[in-house]
Amino acid sequence: MLDNHPQTSRLVQRLKCLCACLITLCIGGFPQAGSAAASEVSWERLTAGIQVTIWNPVKACPQVPALLILQVDPERFRFSIYHFRDEGLHAPLSIHEWQQRTDAYVLFNAGLFREDYSYLGLLLKEGRSLGGKKHHSWQGLFAAEPTDSRLRKARVLDLAFEGFTEDAPTYREAAQSLMLLDRTGKLRVRDSGKRAHQTVVAEDGEGAILVIKTVDIVSLHHLADCLHQQMPSIQQAMAMDGGSSSDVIASPDLLHAAQEMTAQAGWRSLLEGDMGLHIGLPAVIGISPRAGTRGMPSAAASPSSRGR
């Protein structure tokens, strides 16, 4: 018979193998969109509960610069709102001055404000309003320190789908701004063409809070699209502020605990606040250890994959 011929048998076996491979790929062997990019994010530990990375998505997102990303565990760290008038100050402080005043491990700008330094949007500290009024069209709300212990310690709320009232707030700390990307995958910003340095706060599927700062100018639309496509772990994100007020800093103690290595050159200089212009910020958000957990940060571990 023809099938008994050695060469024919080998050919039949090869065809069977090829068919099996094609079936495997059709069932689910093709890589998911963004999975390769997400796997390239390599975290370095600053201290237990805070990781950092510089992620450069230029191959997948040519119009998006490198991003400084901090991943924070809200179970270990609390978030606090600070406003210069509430602190009894006559003028806004620079990010360096805010860090010295609050002694927070990490600080970043809290959102948009007018020329007279009044805050645009809702701003709460310890459950009381700091003067800002709820913006009718902005749907992003960073909320932390819940009044109900069953709720997550910190969230990015989408006011288009989730309710939040000032009279009986479910979270004591809150700062309102623009929704960037929602959990349905929809981009919530138009492609205006405007480009600037940006600060973004996001929530991932594991409940961690991500603080993201671009190292160069970018449009919010391109940034939102890149985060959606290349970091599928992000559930929703909001844009805190942009331009010269886009700022983030880490405390000297926290940076001192992270053993200096050549690979840290990018994110360390950004977190030290040695780069760029630092204007006065009327409101900031501080990240500090929860009561009973504060101490000298432990030395950083070697670079690791995602996880806490």
Q: Give the residue extent of every domain in the chain.
A: 1-30, 36-289
Q: What dihedral angle (degrees, nearest 10) is formed by the CA atoms of 277, 278, 281, 283?
A: 110
Q: The tokens of 54 are what?
A: 């510089």
Q: Which residues contact 119 (CB under 8 A, 6 or more apart)?
A: 83, 110, 111, 112, 113, 130, 131, 132, 282, 283
pLDDT the model gives residue 27 = 32
Strands 77-83 and 67-72 come out as unpaired
pLDDT the model gives residue 232 = 94
Residues of the chain with pLDDT under 70: 1-39, 259-265, 275-276, 292-308
pLDDT the model gives residue 7 = 42
Cα distance between residue 158 and residue 186, in whole Å:
12
81, 110 Cβ separation under 8 angstroms = yes
Q: What is the dihedral sign for C-alpha 185, 57, 208, 96?
A: negative
Cα distance between residue 58 and residue 276, in whole Å:
21
Per residue in 125-149, pLDDT tens? 999 999 777 888 889 999 999 999 9
Cα distance between residue 227 and residue 204, in whole Å:
11
pLDDT the model gives residue 3 = 41
pLDDT the model gives residue 115 = 87
pLDDT the model gives residue 293 = 60
pLDDT the model gives residue 265 = 65
Q: The tokens of 41 are what?
A: 């994010």
pLDDT the model gives residue 273 = 82
Q: What stretches of 176-251 show up as alpha helix (H) in DSSP?
A: 220-230
